[in-house]
Amino acid sequence: MLLNYSPLMLKICLSKINFYKFTSSFYKNTFMKLFTNILVILALGLIIFNITLLDFKNPLQGNSMVAFIGIAASICAVLILLIFRMSKNIEEKMNDKF
């Protein structure tokens, strides 16, 4: 009697294994998206903060130069994070095809 149900049990076990693989990758991808979102928000906050430090009368002297460098660095960070997220999306789509 057990032999009649063994293919069904094997199918159920394999489906559970695939489900666990899906959930672990789901949490990993969700965590990565959340982490990159937080970093983008922090970089945008730094851009806003550095804009407040700018002296528009003398934009390339004193603290304004430091603010410009901070703004440029924050913009670079945002771009790098967006490129990273796009590459992860492409990697997911490539893995789904195979």
Q: Are the C-beta atoms of residues 84 and 36 closer than 8 Å to each other?
A: yes
List, for residues 83-96, the tens digit of each pLDDT value.
Answer: 999 998 888 888 87
Per the structure block, which two tokens stand in for 30?
């969700």
Residue 85 burial by Cβ neighbours in a 10 Å radius (0-12, 13-18, 19+): middle
* Dist. CA 36–CA 94, nearest whole Å: 21
The larger pLDDT score, comparing residue 92 to residue 22, is at 92
* Dist. CA 72–CA 51, nearest whole Å: 11
CA atoms within 13 A on the CB side of 69: 7
List, for residues 49-90, the tens digit of each pLDDT value.
Answer: 999 999 888 888 888 999 999 999 999 999 999 999 999 888
Give me the mean pLDDT over the 8-37 stretch.
64
